[in-house]
């Protein structure tokens, strides 16, 4: 047993947990249980990101997806439930057809993935950074890239090449987009008069 | 995957046994870290629950616990724990049993998980992560999920109210928590908690709290928001017993109930540790006679380079002192939280939301902008690079830049930093 | 022959994607559909991050996945507001009931 095997074991664990969570999201009918399985799945995906040395993405996944989006979803479940543990079941026929098509689609994707020779399974070395790779060295390059500079590409590149462009414009667009979404969502969800046939519940 | 740090020292200890032992070192290091973090996670609530009862007693002119374990009743938490273990583990008829049983564990795991990136001294962390503070807030934010699930799955309207209140409160208070947490990060230029602690070595004036007026104010805002984030009084609307019976934990009994409290006290300790590291100098005592590594050197001088199984003693004693300083600072902050709880009346839920959305978020945004602009203000006020060389005017990022900064090696013929800068200037219109 | 780790990650991404599609297709609860969308986006994200580690894509893959995460959060907020509106108008969140425009 070696260190790689320990790491490989963890990767396998996270992979199984994320797949299991995703499958359970589909199979469960209760919305809050679906949300719980979604937490399992998304949290394990964040573990996979850590194993890929993408620590900033992994932390964002935890903070925004698991801590933010899922909480908002559960909040939505509570605000829209007309009774306790309400379930809206889909008809069995639809489920069987959808399941069959999903399995076929998965088989297609899996065969595609398996038929490609991924560079012989060779893993490129991690880039040199401010920190050792185990402590994560993606934070500063990502920050600089969002500010429009790409030292991870430009330093050491042949001098005649032009400078790489960063992600300043997309970053600005996304931030404005978030503001618009914030205003729009609060406008859409503002308290309104219920429709006439509102029961007293 | 970030690897456990003690592995290096433990590996050096077991290397003498021969090759093939690095996996043993790895496993042992993981075990040691897990045991230490678990011990802290368990012992901190153990102590603070006793402290809470004692402080509450004194504030209300009572004695508090006096019997269990001697004069001060310091084993009261153990007695509580034994009592709670013996209690029946009830699941209400209307509850969603699986989620109901799962929710306390989820809360506990989130609170425990956040401890893994917390440094107890420079480099003494289970995981030294570049994204440390971000990751810590991310894991801590998962705590709300367990509470919301507990409130929902109990099948009781009181629990549901508590859960919804908690969701609304936590989601709102996370924003100023993150912003005020970022203010010292802006001053240091790193999210790595070890680095943030390292910057504040030396006297008390180097503590980030005294870096500029904005960080000074940010500390108090952070503390208020963190108190609310742990759903402590006066913000404990999720469990307001005067309105909601017990809030989200109305239906819980026995150990599952106590897991929520384990998580709550551990979170209090955690946010206080973070406050101590971010604002109050971390593991540096700030006292003139134990400046920098002075104490460390004295200890090294005392023990020489003595070592046990390849582990040098000297630095460890100095670090233990730093650990003690850090825990003392955090405990003092927890004491303030307890003090506030037994002094101030509880707010109403609309007041809690108003405090956050109308006051704390704008204040923290203003402080953040101010902290970002502060170096620029100083630079302008002191008159440029020559006049700007005072301690205040120096960009604080320089403080952590090591004297012999190892630049990333560049292949021969490659473009250097200066060339890139020149190209940047050309590209600018 | 042990498969290269990249295959494992890609298979996880594929499973997430397919589960998300199935979720979107079969769930009648509006919020369940939203969860399906999140799963699909995550499946795509896994691929981005995997390729940023195993190929020459470098950090671009991670940054793209960051944008996806941020946009997914925004999408969830808007979709939830729409779901609340839907609930206000129909008193249920069953998406099959939103059929007034059907001829």
**Is A185 in CB contact (< 8 Å) with chain B?**
no
Mark B34-72 as b/e (b = at least 16 C-beta within 10 Å).
eeebeebbeebbbbbbbbbbbbebeeeeeebbeebeeee
Judge whether residue B368 has pLDDT over 50. yes
pTM equals 0.83
**What is the ipTM for the molecules in this complex?**
0.88
Interchain contact B/A (3 or more Cβ pairs less than 8 Å): yes
**Residue stretches of chain C with pLDDT short of 50:** 1-3
Q: With an 8 Å Cβ cutoff, are B138 and A59 in contact?
A: yes
How far apart are the CA of A102 and the nearest CA of chain B, in angstroms? 28
Question: Greater confidence, B332 or B386?
Answer: B332
Question: Closest to A84 (Cβ–Cβ): which among B141, B148, B155?
Answer: B155
Among A52, A81, A110, residue at a domain's last position: A81
* pLDDT recorded at residue A42: 92
Burial A43-70 (b: 16+ CB within 10 A, else e): bbbbbbbbbbbbbbbbbbbbbbbbbbbb
The pLDDT, as a whole number, for residue C1 is: 34
Phi, psi angle pair for B422, to nearest 5°: -60, -45
CA distance B59 to chain A (A): 37
Q: What mean pLDDT comes out for the span B151-156?
A: 81
C9 and A CB contact within 8 Å: yes
- The answer for residues whose C-beta is within 8 angstroms of residue B89's C-beta and 6 or more apart is B253, B254, B255, B256
Query: CA C71, CA A65: separation in Å to the nearest integer?
Result: 11
How many other C-beta atoms lie within 10 A of the C-beta of residue A41? 30
**Range with the lowest mean pLDDT among A138-142, B287-291, B414-418?**
B414-418
Q: Answer positive or negative: Cα dihedral of B375, B380, B385, B391.
A: negative
- State whether residue B139 sits within 8 Å of chain A by CB: yes
Look at residue B324 in the predicted model and tell me its pLDDT. Answer: 83
Nearest residue to C39 via CA among A26, A47, B36, A100: A26
Q: With an 8 Å Cβ cutoff, is A147 touching chain B?
A: no
Confidence of residue B15 (pLDDT cuts 50, 70, 90): low
Note whether B142 contacts A62, CB cutoff 8 Å.
Answer: yes
Specify the pLDDT at position A163. Answer: 73
Domain boundaries, chain C: 30-90
Q: Is the pLDDT of residue B286 over 50?
A: yes
- Under 8 Å CB pairs connecting chains A and B tally to 146
**Contacts of C among chains (3+ CB pairs under 8 A):** A
- Give, rounded to a whole angstrom, the gap between the first and last alpha carbons of chain A: 61
d(CA B75, CA B64) in angstroms, rounded, equals: 12
- Computed over every residue of chain B, the mean pLDDT equals 76
Listed as ranges, residues in chain A with pLDDT below 50 are 1, 198, 200-201
Q: Is A139 on the interface with C (CB under 8 A)?
A: no
Residue A96 lies in a domain: no
Phi, psi (rounded to 5 degrees) for A2: -125, 175
Give long-range contacts, CB 8 A cutoff, 24+ apart: B388-393. none
Give B69's Cβ-side CA count (13 Å radius): 11
> Is the model more confident about B191 or about B313?
B191
Query: From residue B307, how far is each of B33, B310, B314 by CA, in Å?
Result: 21, 6, 8
Q: Which CATH number is A42's domain given?
A: 1.20.120.1200
DSSP states of B335-352 as a string?
HHHHHHHTTSPPPPHHHH
More confident residue, B190 or C64: C64
Q: Is A57 on the interface with C (CB under 8 A)?
A: yes
Residues 17-46 of chain B with CB under 8 A from chain A are 22-23, 26-27
Specify the pLDDT at position A121.
59
* pLDDT over 90, % of chain B: 4
Within an 8 Å CB–CB cutoff, is residue C52 touching chain A? yes
CB B302 within 8 A of CB B309: no
pLDDT of the residue at A45: 92
- Site of tokens 């990502």: A142
Domains: count for chain A: 2
Contacts of B324 (CB under 8 A, 6+ apart): none
| B170 Cβ under 8 Å from any chain A Cβ | yes
Q: SS3 of A30, please?
A: strand
Domain spans in chain B, listed from the N-terminal domain onward:
6-399
Domain boundary among A58, A81, A104: A81
Q: What percent of chain B has pLDDT over 70?
A: 74
pLDDT (tens digit per residue) in B290-337 = 555 556 566 666 665 555 555 556 666 767 777 888 888 888 999 998
Between these two residues, B125 and B388, which has the higher pLDDT value? B125
d(CA B100, CA B105): 10
Q: Among A64, A81, A98, which residue terminates a domain?
A: A81
* Subunit partners of chain B (3 or more CB pairs within 8 A): A
Give the pair of three-digit tokens for residue B107. Answer: 């809360």
Handedness of CA B150, B338, B226, B321 (dihedral sign): negative
Find the CB nearest C31 among A77, A105, A150: A77
Residue B412, pLDDT above cutoff 50: no
Q: What does the pLDDT read at residue B1?
A: 31
Domain containing A32: what range?
7-81
**Using CB atoms and an 8 Å cut-off, which of residues 96-125 of chain B contact chain A?**
96, 98-99, 102, 106
* Percent helix, percent strand, percent coil in chain C, to nearest 5: 80, 0, 20
Strands B307-308 and B311-312: antiparallel
Note the pLDDT of residue A195. Answer: 53
Q: Per the domain annotation, does A181 fall within a domain?
A: yes
Q: Test B414 with A155 for CB contact under 8 angstroms.
A: yes
Residue of C nearest to A99 (CA): C22
- Taking contacts as CB-CB distances below 8 angstroms, the residues of chain B near A1 are 23
Q: Which residue has the tokens 């509880």?
A: B346
Q: Which helix (H) or strand (E) holds B307?
A: strand B307-308
Residue A185 lies in a domain: yes
CA distances (Å), origin B364, targets A60, B177, B197: 21, 9, 22
Residue with tokens 């560079």: A119
Q: Do chains C and A touch (3 or more CB pairs under 8 A)?
A: yes
Contact between chains at B145 and A70 (C-beta distance less than 8 A): yes
- Which residues on A lie below 8 Å from C19 (Cβ)? 19, 22-23, 25-26, 102
Of A131 and B100, more confident: B100
């Amino acid at each position: 047993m070696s260190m790689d095997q320990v790491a490989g074991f963890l990767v396998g664990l996270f992979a199984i947990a994320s797949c299991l969570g995703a499958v359970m999201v589909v199979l469960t009918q209760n919305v809050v249980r679906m949300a719980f399985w979604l937490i399992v799945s998304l949290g394990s995906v964040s573990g996979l990101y850590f194993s890929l040395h993408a620590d900033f993405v992994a932390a964002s996944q935890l903070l925004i997806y698991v801590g933010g989006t899922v909480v908002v979803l559960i909040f939505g479940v509570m605000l829209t439930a007309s009774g306790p543990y309400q379930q809206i079941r889909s008809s069995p026929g639809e489920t069987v057809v959808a399941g069959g098509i999903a399995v076929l689609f998965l088989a297609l994707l899996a065969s595609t993935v398996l038929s490609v020779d991924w560079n012989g399974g060779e893993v490129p070395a991690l880039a040199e950074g401010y920190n050792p790779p185990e402590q994560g060295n993606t934070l500063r390059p990502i920050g600089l890239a969002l500010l429009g500079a790409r030292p991870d590409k430009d330093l050491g590149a042949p001098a005649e090449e032009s400078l790489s462009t960063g992600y300043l414009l997309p970053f600005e667009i996304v931030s404005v987009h978030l503001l618009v979404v914030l205003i729009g969502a609060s406008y859409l969800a503002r308290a309104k008069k219920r429709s006439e046939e509102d029961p007293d519940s | 995957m970030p690897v456990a740090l003690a592995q290096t020292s433990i590996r050096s200890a077991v290397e003498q046994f021969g090759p093939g032992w690095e996996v043993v070192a790895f496993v042992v290091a993981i075990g040691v870290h897990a045991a230490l973090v678990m011990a802290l996670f368990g012992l901190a609530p153990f102590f603070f629950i006793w402290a809470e009862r004692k402080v509450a007693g004194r504030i209300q002119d009572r004695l508090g616990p006096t019997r269990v374990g001697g004069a001060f009743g310091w084993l009261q938490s153990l007695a509580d724990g034994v009592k709670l273990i013996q209690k029946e583990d009830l699941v209400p008829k209307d509850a969603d049993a699986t989620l109901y049983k799962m929710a306390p564990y989820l809360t506990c795991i989130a609170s425990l998980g956040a401890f893994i990136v917390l440094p107890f001294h420079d480099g003494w962390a289970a995981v030294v992560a570049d994204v440390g503070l971000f990751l810590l807030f991310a894991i801590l934010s998962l705590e709300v999920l367990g509470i919301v699930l507990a409130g929902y799955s109990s099948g009781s309207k009181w629990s549901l109210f508590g859960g919804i209140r908690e969701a609304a409160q936590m989601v709102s208070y996370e924003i100023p928590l993150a912003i005020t947490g970022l203010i010292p990060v802006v001053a240091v230029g790193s999210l790595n908690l070890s680095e943030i602690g390292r910057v504040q070595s030396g006297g008390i004036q180097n503590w980030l709290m005294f870096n500029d007026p904005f960080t000074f104010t940010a500390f108090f805002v952070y503390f208020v928001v963190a108190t609310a984030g742990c759903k402590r009084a006066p913000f404990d609307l999720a469990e307001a017993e005067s309105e909601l019976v017990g809030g989200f934990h109305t239906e819980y009994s026995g150990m599952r109930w106590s897991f929520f409290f384990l998580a709550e006290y551990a979170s209090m300790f955690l946010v206080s540790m973070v406050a101590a590291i971010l604002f109050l100098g971390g593991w540096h005592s700030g006292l003139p006679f134990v400046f920098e590594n002075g104490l460390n050197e004295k200890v090294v001088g005392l023990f020489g380079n003595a070592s046990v199984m390849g582990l040098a003693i000297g630095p460890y004693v100095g670090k233990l002192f730093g650990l003690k300083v850090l825990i003392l600072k955090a405990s003092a902050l927890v004491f303030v939280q307890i003090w506030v709880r037994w002094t101030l009346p509880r707010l109403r839920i609309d007041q809690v939301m108003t405090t956050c959305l109308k006051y704390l978020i704008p204040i923290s945004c203003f402080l953040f902008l101010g902290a970002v602009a502060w170096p620029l203000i100083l630079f302008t006020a002191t008159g440029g690079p020559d006049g700007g060389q005072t301690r205040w005017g120096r960009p604080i990022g320089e403080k952590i830049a090591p004297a012999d900064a190892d630049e990333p090696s560049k292949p021969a013929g490659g473009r250097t930093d200066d060339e890139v800068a020149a190209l940047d200037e050309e590209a600018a219109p | 022959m042990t498969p290269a780790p990249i295959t494992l990650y890609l298979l996880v991404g594929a499973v997430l994607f397919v589960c998300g599609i199935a979720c979107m297709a079969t769930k009648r609860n509006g919020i369940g559909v939203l969860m399906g969308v999140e799963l699909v986006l995550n499946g795509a994200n896994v691929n981005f991050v995997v390729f940023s580690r195993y190929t020459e894509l470098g950090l671009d893959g991670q940054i793209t996945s960051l944008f996806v995460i941020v946009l997914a959060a925004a999408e969830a907020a808007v979709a939830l507001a729409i779901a609340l509106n839907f609930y206000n108008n129909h008193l249920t969140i069953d998406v099959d009931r939103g059929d007034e425009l059907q001829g």
